[in-house]
Structure 1
Amino acid sequence: MALSTKAKKLVAEITKGDLKLGDLKKRGAEIKKDHDLAMELWSTGEYYPRLLASLIFDKKLLAEEVIDQLAADMLEHDLKERSQLADWFMANQLAKDKRLAALMTTWEENPSPILRRLFWYHQARLRWVGQTPPGNSAELMVSLEKNLATAEPEVQWTMNFCAGQIGIHEPKFRARCIKLGKALGLYKDEHVSKNCTPSYLPEFIRIEVAKRE
């Protein structure tokens, strides 16, 4: 896609090398919504322009086939970048629209690991935002016990996070989530920075439950 003068200037501005994510968010807040510009930025294939695009898409124009293509494009990036792109896209677009949020609930078995990541992240989010957890936790637990061990890295992390949120917010599943974490040992040896919560399920659940007591 040939870039407009506006898009070229913006790409030059945000790819200087010293930009912080907070600066991108400020830029996105200034632009607000500009779907055509977002598509231009996305077409560059570059990380920062795509992050900014994820802030300024028009939700009404995000048809399912467009989302499928964006998810496929994210796989061009390394694990860290594509995970960040997916999470910003969910937080700033999908989770803020009832139609798109409903669409996320259909992605558990989607061929795209990006969309499966977002399915699980959305399910986790439904539990940590303070509302009554949805009534599908028993079904999710069956899927977690069956598939968590072998999921792709970007999907596995959000599945594990969702299991943690179920264990934290739904006491009847807590022991089962802890047992799953112990059995798999995922993230048990992960280095955790000071004041950060570990991803290892038994510790994650223990610490977060204690905060709420």
Structure 2
Amino acid sequence: MAETTPAETTANEVLAGVLAELAALEDPRVREVNERHGDDHGVNLGKLRAIAKRLKTRQDLACRLWETGDGAARLLALLICRPKAFGRAELDGMLREARTPKVHEWLVNYVVKKSPHAEELRVGWFADPDPVVASAGWALTTARVVKRPEGLDLAGLLDVIEAEMRDAPERLQWAMNECLSTIGIEHAGHRARAIGIGERLEVLKEYPTSPGCTSPFAPVWIAEMVRRREA
């Protein structure tokens, strides 16, 4: 058996210390709420971010935390990693492992969007047969609709949404609905069609919305965002 080097011992001790800190923050009430949304951790996200702020960027530790498979550890890993350090295949594998909504969301928003492989992954994920993976492709497409729409076939995206969104699985449906709404908000020339698609499909029309929040129902969402911009 190979001997453990001092550096490896230190890395293991740091990992154990961080995992112990996360375990101490476990709150059964937080876990109960998160599990209702499909997540698997019980750590307050504000406290998690505070740990990340203290640790700063630590790629090696981030990789070790991710490998544990623990939900809170993976969320922390995504906050302290270096997004550009991951290869395309590595990110693809991470996404396919990230089945819980919060880990999936943070991986796409905090890591993949900052990666030089983002566009290649977007294209590959967009039509993936796994609806959770496909939802990541749609999320990256929505980001392009806002920041770099050149080269996107917006009318073609609306065609796909019109044909598939109503019967799509929940995570994919949400991602398609966000893309629909974003096209309507960002591109006036497609706004009427986007609103019309939303009105016909009625996806998320009855979704409960807290007071002061905007409904995710596309026609309402589009109208409110445009109103705010023009106010």
Listed one character per residue, the Cα deviations across residues 44-95 of structure 1 (whole Å, up to 9, x for unaligned) are 22211111111223334322222222122212xxxxxx22112211222122
Is the Cα–Cα contact under 8 Å of residues 164 and 201 in structure 1 kept in the other structure? yes
- Provide the secondary structure at the position in 1 that maps to 2:210: coil
Q: Which residue of 2 aligns with 1:134?
A: 150
Equivalent residue number for residue 14 of structure 2: 6
Please point out which of 176, 184, 204 is paired with 2:193.
Answer: 176
TM-score between both structures, scaled by the size of structure 2: 0.79
* TM-score (normalised: structure 1): 0.85
Unaligned runs of 5+ in 1: 76-81
Higher RCO structure (Cα 8 Å, ≥6 apart): 1
Answer yes or no: is the 8 Å Cα contact 2:184–2:194 preserved in 1.
Answer: yes
Return closer, same or farther for 1:181/1:47 CA change in 2, 3 Å cut-off: same
Structure 2 equivalent of residue 78 of structure 1: none
2:48 matches 1:24: yes
Gaps of 5+ in 2: 1-10, 28-42
Kept after mapping to 2: 8 A contact 1:168/1:174 = yes
Residue in 2 that maps onto 1:52: 76
Distance 2:56 2:137 in 1: 26
Identity %: 29
Alignment of 1:131-170 (within 5 A): 131=147, 133-136=149-152, 137-170=154-187
How far apart are the structure 1 equivalents of 2:60 and 2:129? Answer: 28
Q: Quick one: distance in 1 between partners of 2:141 and 2:54?
A: 30
After superposition, the C-alpha distances for 1:116-139 in whole angstroms (9 at most, x for unaligned) are 2222222223344xx464342122
Residue aligning to 1:79? none
Counting only pairs closer than 5 Å after superposition, residues 62-141 of structure 1 correspond to structure 2 as 62-75=86-99, 82-97=100-115, 99-106=116-123, 107-128=125-146, 131=147, 133-136=149-152, 137-141=154-158
Query: CA separation of 1:112/1:70 partners in 2, compared to 1, >3 Å: closer, same or farther?
Result: farther
The residue matched to 2:126 in structure 1 has which SS?
A: coil
* Cα deviations by residue, 1:146-174 (Å, 9 ceiling, x for unpaired): 22123221121011011001011111211
**Compared CA separation, residues 127 and 11, structure 1 to 2 (3 A):** same
Which structure is larger by alpha-carbon Rg, 1 or 2? 2
Divergent runs of 4+, >6 A: none
Structure 1 residue 202: Cα displacement: 1.1
Tell me the matched-pair count: 202
Separation in 2, partners of 1:23, 1:127: 33
